[in-house]
Amino acid sequence: MPKRCLLFLLALLPASAFADIQEFKLPNGLKVIVQEDHRSPVVVSQIWYKTGSIDEFNGTTGVAHVLEHMMFKGTKKVPAGQFSRLIAAAGGRENAFTGNDYTAYFQQLEKSKLPLAFRLEADRMANLQLSTGEFAKEIRVVMEERRSRTEDNPQAQVGEQFNTAAYQVHPYGRPVIGWMNDLEHMKVDDARAWYHRWYAPNNATLVVVGDVDPQQVLKLAKQYFGPIKPQLLPLRKPQSEPEQKGERRVTVKAPAKLPYLLMGYHVPALKDPDHDWEPFALEILAGVLDGNASARLNQNLVRRDQIAIDVSDSYDLIQRDRQSMFVVDGTPSEGRTVSDLEYALLDEIERIKEDGVTEQELQRVKAQVIAADVYQRDSMFYQAMQIGRLETTGLPWKFLKDYPARLQTVTPEQVQAVARKYLTGDNLTVAVLDPQPIDENKPKHKEVTHGHN
C-alpha cells in the first residue's frame, strides 16, 4: 500500500485516540490516568493490580484468578452479589479478568454513575471479606471452569502443555487458571494472603476513559481511594527463562475429531520503546505470515496447497517480564498429517529467512496493523485496556502515540534479521494433538456462565 494511504489511515484516528491523557498520583501511591472522550455520555472505569499468575508460588497456582472471583463476594457494606446488582441497576456492565501479569476489574456506565464505581472498587480494595463458606462455593466454580475450558478442550490442553515445555523455569509456563491439584487443595487463607500481599493502592492503576473532566475524576479518586493506606509490597526478583538449547516436543493424546499443531519460538518483548526495534520487526513478521486473506500462510497453505483447514500466528510485544513467544498453529486438512503441516510452516519461515519480504508486503502489513489499531481505538474500553496494560507491565502510556511511527520505521532487512535470529530449530517448541476416539456417551462439563473470568 502506498505511503500516502498509511498517512490517510493515521488521519482517520478519532480525535480522542491521541487526545491528551492526564496522569495523577495520590499520596498513597495510586496512579490515576484519565483520557477524555466526549463522543457519548459514557465512562469506562478500570482498576489494574500489578499482580497475576507470574507472582504465584508453587502449590498455589490459580490463586490470583481465584481471588478475582472472591472480589465479588462482598464487604461489610456490600454483601455478596450486591456489587454486580448495583452496577446492573445503574444500567452498567462490569466484569474482571486475570492474566499472567495483572488482574483488572472494570465498569462501563453512564458518566454520572462514576462515583458508584469508585465507591464500590475502593470498598473492596480495602474491606474484602473472605469467608470460608463463600470460598468453598467459589473454588468449585473455578474447578468447573478449568474442566470446561481446558480439560474438555483438546486444543487448550495442547496450549497448556506447550507452555510448560517452552517455559521450563519461568512462571509464564504455569496456567493462569491453575493446576487442578492446587485448586483442590487451596484454602481460604491462600486467597486471604494473596489479597493482603498485593491489593493495595500503591500496587494499582486506576484508568478512566470517557465523557469526563480529569480534575473531577481526580477529586473523586481522592475522595474514595485517598483514605486507603499504602502497604509495603514484596520485593519482586527478576525472572528469566534460560536460553533454549535444542528443540522440544510434546504430544497430547485426547479425544478429538481433528489433529492440531502448535509451535513457537522464544523472542523478546518490548523493553525500551525508544530504542528497541526487534519487537516491531517481529510484529510486522507476524503480519506477513498471518493477518488477512492475502497473508502468506492463508494464501499458500490454506488456499493454494490445501495443506491446512486453518492456520494462524501470534506475537505479543507487551509482557511484564520482557520475554514472549512467536507462535504458529494450525489444523491439517483431511488426508494431510500434522507432519505435513509442520513441514509446510517451517518451509514458509525458511523462505522469509532466505529471501526476506517484499516492500509491497511490508506496506500492506503496516497499513493493516495501523488500521486495526485505528478501529480498536474507536472503543473507549479498548483505549482504557491499552493504557492499563502498558502501565501495569511497566511501559509508559505515552508509547501509544509513538506506536504507528515505530512500525513505520521497520525495514525488510529487519524483518528478515529477526526471523533468522529467533526462528531457529534449537529455539523451537512443538506441541501436537494426537486425536483419540470420542466417547459420545461421556457427559460434557457445562460451560461456566457466572460472568467473572
Q: CA-CA distance, 346 to 342, in Å (whole number)?
A: 6
Helix 412-422 and helix 359-376, axial crossing angle in degrees, nearest 10: 90
> Backbone dihedral region of 356: left (phi > 0), alpha (psi from -120 to 50 degrees) or beta?
left
Paired residues of 49 in beta bridges:
103, 204
Helix, strand or coil for residue 35?
strand
Contacts of 1 (CB under 8 A, 6+ apart): 363, 364, 366, 367
Contacts of 150 (CB under 8 A, 6+ apart): 156, 157, 160, 175, 177
381, burial (CB in 10 Å: exposed 0-12, middle 13-18, buried 19+): middle
Q: CA-CA distance, 405 to 412, in Å (whole number)?
A: 16
Asked if residue 407 lies in contact with residue 369, where contact means CB atoms within 8 angstroms, the answer is yes
Give the gyration radius of the chain's Cα atoms: 23
Asked if residue 100 lies in contact with residue 320, where contact means CB atoms within 8 angstroms, the answer is yes
Catalytic residue among 36, 68, 121, 138: 68
Q: How many CB atoms lie within 10 A of CB 334?
A: 7
Our answer to whether residue 68 is catalytic in this structure is: yes
Name the residues annotated as catalytic. 68
